[in-house]
Structure 1
Amino acid sequence: MNVVWQDFITIALVHLLAVASPGPDFAIVVRNSVAYGRRIAMYTSVGIGLGILIHVAYSIVGLSVVIKTTPWLYQTISYLAAAYLIYLAVGALRSGPTTPSTARQGKQVTRPAIRGRRALWMGFLTNGLNPKATLFFLSLFTAFIDVDTPLPIKLGYGAYLSLATGAWFCFLSYLLSTSSVARLIGEKGYWLDRAMGVLLLGLAAKLVLA
């Protein structure tokens, strides 16, 4: 049991470093927080957490090895992920300034609001189609989980990784929507939105060129 807890702590620390580093998940949460506000960013964060379950599921049954060792399949996933990131980037790059009335109120309203369900799917697809996450979970589960690891422990690891990911990005969404940060963003927040669009384009290009 001590070994299980040691492995869990190691997995938790490695995972924290992974989610804290800038990537597609970070970019889409920042973008939706700036463009649509806290509620939509929270839905996006929950979607990202649910997307983790895809990687956990195929890692547990060993499909991550198949994906990694089948070039055409891995490349297909990479292209799908890149196409989706480009789609999100185009929307972010089309961001415009606030209207004078909303600018005076310190609100960022650059485009019509979207539904929570759509935001959840955005987060889910952004994470679920990320082939870099495939490699991350492949290495993580290979290092700490084998065929002899009991299924409840595997499921426990997966549940933690999903919940921790969602909680981290929900926390980020909250920070970005606090009054002090909102005032800092102010009427120029669309530039941050556009910056996230550029970042998403860069990540898409990295997926294709890699």
Structure 2
Amino acid sequence: MSSEIAVIATTLGFYALAVASPGPNFALISRLALSGARRAAIGATLGLAFAATFYAILTITGLSIALSRVGWLASLVQIAGGCYLIYLGAKAWLGAKHTLPLGTRGASHNSASKGAWTGIIVNLSNPKVITFFLSLYAVTVPIGVSLWTKLALLTGGFLLEVLWYGLVIVLLSTPPARAIYDRAGQWIERVVGTALAVFGIRLISEKL
């Protein structure tokens, strides 16, 4: 029992470091939170968490190995994901010209369901997530661990995603952060849009 608790603690510790590292997920949540789309940011957080958990289930059950061997499929998914990130980046750039004060945004900009789908697409279209789980579980999870340990890892990973990005949303939704966005919203949109596009280009370039 103690050894499996150690496995869970070690695995989730590495997972937490990966979740907190900068990447397209952080850029997406930051943009939504800063722009005042709090419901969309919460939806995107849940979407990211569900997509990551889906890949974690594939990995922990061994199905991801079969998927990763279909090279053309993984390449197609990665290129499509890169294109989607570039689209989000371009959308942020174009929208920067029409940045509105936080209190004047419409409901369509702040839709939880739309944010959830965006989060799901962003994470599912990045097959590098599978590579991460393969590497993580290969190093930290011994063969033959119990079912409850696997369930604890899946549940813990989901909660880490939600808690971390939830914290980001809370911090970037504070009055000082909103005031900064009201003053420099156009430049913030452009910086985050550029970051999303760069992540997308990197994904595509790795497969071309």
Same fold (TM over 0.5): yes
Structure 2 residues without counterparts, runs of 5 or longer: none
**How far off is 1:170 after superposition?**
1.1
| Contact 1:108/1:186, CA 8 A, preserved across alignment | no
Listed as ranges, the matches of 1:50-65 within 5 Å are: 50-65=50-65
**How big is each residue's C-alpha offset from its partner over 1:159-203, in whole Å with a ceiling of 9 and x where there is no partner?**
110111011101101110101111122231121122111111111
Listed as ranges, the matches of 1:96-175 within 5 Å are: 96-98=97-99, 102=101, 107=103, 109=105, 113-175=109-171
**How far off is 1:14 after superposition?**
0.8
Which whole-Å CA distance do the structure 1 matches of 2:129 and 2:69 have between them?
A: 15
Does 2:189 align with 1:197? no
**How far off is 1:87 after superposition?**
2.0
Gap change, CA 1:166 and 1:123, over 3 Å in 2: same
Does 2:183 align with 1:206? no
**How far off is 1:110 after superposition?**
9.4
**How big is each residue's C-alpha offset from its partner over 1:23-78, in whole Å with a ceiling of 9 and x where there is no partner?**
11101101112234322211211111111121112102212223333322221221
| Contact 2:11/2:137, CA 8 A, preserved across alignment | no
| Contact 1:110/1:190, CA 8 A, preserved across alignment | no
| Contact 1:36/1:108, CA 8 A, preserved across alignment | no
The number of aligned residues is 205
Which whole-Å CA distance do the structure 2 matches of 1:205 and 1:110 have between them?
A: 31
Gap change, CA 1:109 and 1:190, over 3 Å in 2: farther
Which whole-Å CA distance do the structure 1 matches of 2:99 and 2:7 have between them?
A: 49
> Aligned AA for 2:42?
M
Q: Percent identity?
A: 27
**How far off is 1:84 after superposition?**
1.6
Structure 1 residues without counterparts, runs of 5 or longer: none
> Aligned AA for 2:126?
N
| Contact 2:43/2:116, CA 8 A, preserved across alignment | yes
Partner of 1:39: 39
**How far off is 1:146 after superposition?**
4.8
Partner of 2:85: 85
> Aligned AA for 1:88?
L
TM-score in terms of structure 1 length: 0.88
**Structural RMSD (CA):** 2.1
Which whole-Å CA distance do the structure 2 matches of 1:98 and 1:207 have between them?
A: 28
**How far off is 1:114 after superposition?**
4.1
**How far off is 1:123 after superposition?**
1.0
Does 2:151 align with 1:187? no
| Contact 1:107/1:186, CA 8 A, preserved across alignment | no
Moved more, 106-115 or 64-73: 106-115
